Structure 1
Amino acid sequence: MRTIRLNKEIEVFIAGIGAAQSFLMAFYSFYERKKDFRNFLLSLFFISITLRLAKSILWVYLDSTPLWLVNFGFTAHSISGPVLFLYTLYFLFPKKWHALNLLHFVPSFFLLFFISSLSLNNFWYSGGYSILLFQQVVYSILSLILLGLRFLSNKHQSPMDRTSIVWITTLVFATALLQFLYFSNYILGLTPYLLGPIAYLPFIYFLAFLLFKNPSLLKHEISKKHQNIRLTEKELNESAKHLEYLMQDKKLYLDPECTLNRVAKQAKLPAYLVSHIVNNTIGKSFPDFLNGYRIEEAKRKLLHPNYRNTKIASIAYDCGFNTLSSFNIAFKKFVRTTPTKFQKSNVTI
Structure 2
Amino acid sequence: MPTIGIIIGFLGFSTFGPLVYWYFKFDSKQNAKDFPKAEYLHLVFPIIGCLLMTISEKYDNEMYLACNISLTVYLAYIYFRFVFKRRTMDSHLLKLDKVIFITMSLLLFVFLIQYFVATIQLYVIGTGLSSLIISGLFIYMMKYPPNLMKAIHKTKPKPEQIHTIIEALEVKKMYHKQGISLTEFSKTINIPKYIISITIKDRYLKSFPEVINHMRIEDIIKKLKNPDSVNTKIEELAFDVGFNSTSSFYTAFKKETSMTPREFQKASILNH
TM range (shorter): 0.3 to 0.5
| Greater Rg by CA | 2
| Structure-1-length-normalised TM-score | 0.35
TM-score of the aligned structures, taking structure 2 as reference length: 0.44
Larger RCO, structure (CA 8 Å, separation 6 or more): 1
